[in-house]
Structure 1
Amino acid sequence: MVRAMAGGREEDRRAALALLAWQLAAGVDEVVGNLPVNRLESAASIRGRPPATPRPMPSSATARSAPAPAAAAAQQGPSEAVMAARARAREAETLEQLRDILAGFDGCALRLTARNLCFADGNPQARIMFVGEAPGQEEDIQGAPFVGPAGKLLDRMLAAIGLDRTSVYITNVVYWRPPGNRTPTPQETQICRPFVERQIELADPDVLVLLGNASASVLLDRKEGILRLRGKWFDFDTGRRTIPAMPTLHPAYLLRQPGQKRLAWRDFLAIRKALDG
């Protein structure tokens, strides 16, 4: 009997591990609630509970005057959200104002699932600006771009050409972490695009580096993949002036494909030459 009980516990342990593996594969990486919920609880025990006290409903006037952020974001269609983003981005006269506007902008649903806005890191007065794709888990926790494993590799790449966080300005084309670190949708990038373009215009760097396919395709309106675009110079028009822009490989990609670092090294040497020239 004892052996049978031990065998049952082992089966339960294996089932729990299999469930955790499935959740990780599905992109679950955070605990939503503090207490477990017994989904296998019998219906009889549920029926035996006293009825829950209903929550008071807000008055219609209150609901109209203060809509929930989730409801406000859901009411906007893609085109309306993009138009709202363009209007709000134009209001910013400084990078600080742009960040404050983004913090209150409810047109992108990603802000509802993210912990923090990841606006920028580094020196806003730097001559060179890097634009990546989207925050990851560590970036979402700290509220800054490129602070996780990919950011540590980026720091080493910068050091190889004599740069560091005090001499560069860094952001992403999407300011909030997508759930499970999934790729941002075209709608999400288009909603954030006016803010990124305004951020580049206000920072006014001499050189723009686009890290990965997402930032290159969005900001350059190119359909080619990053392996075709990397290492080439393009013109990025801010409305005030034209900035030379180079797409290159994203550090996260280089962590998965370390053999491609030689290509990124060539790009970074060309970037260093452009800064020196």
Structure 2
Amino acid sequence: MLRPAVRALSLLLCWLACFAPSPVSCISVTTPPELHASRGEAVTLSCTFTSISRPTSKMTVDWSYRPQTGGPPQTFFHFSSKAFPPPDGQFVDRIRWQGTPASGDASIVLTNASLSDNGTYTCSVRNPPDVHGSPNSHTVLTVTPKSPSIRFSDTAVLLFFILLPSAIITLILIGRILCPKKQPNQSKAYRSPIEVTEGEEYGYHPPAAKAKRETCCDLYLMDSDDESQYYTLKKRPPSDDGYAESQC
């Protein structure tokens, strides 16, 4: 009686093994949505993937490019155990493999980026038995003209016309502060009140040259106007220089 029961159990296990879903895992590929670069620079097209199965020699990586103007994508790079860069076309001698499949990295480097490289790049990874899931991922690259930089000649002109005059003015100001202008010697200009000469206390300053004394002959030949001037001078207080005495 046990024999038919064992046979039925065996048939049930075989049926479950046949109709149960196969244990196939799913691969997932990820790239940044957008990338930006300046013309002439090297840009890394990053691509990572996750897979339960360990990468083997059957794993493949393909990179394709669709121009910004539109059109079908074109595969320009292939990896299968080793890298196969593009032999010709737009990306020849400008693609370098940077991926590490064992670490889940399938990135490449695009050197000397140009404005014609603008477009959509697609990374596709196949790692059997992981054939389901999301094996493709897209990234949009935007290359812009390189911003102008200050050249050495511009810097030299800036230093010459701005910094140099400022430095000269600063040195002049520092020199005036450290070495002030000499004040005139006041000892020579200063005189004691006792040293004031005669006549200066009245505000009278003698002429530079002494007037010639009048003689008798000069007095005799005077006009009436000259005589009045003579008597006016005679009435003035006596002084050493201005008083003319007749010697007749």
Q: Which has the higher contact order (CA 8 A, sep 6+)?
A: 2
The higher radius of gyration belongs to 2
Q: TM above 0.5, one fold?
A: no
- What's the TM-score, normalizing by structure 2? 0.23
Bigger strand fraction: 2
- What's the TM-score, normalizing by structure 1? 0.21
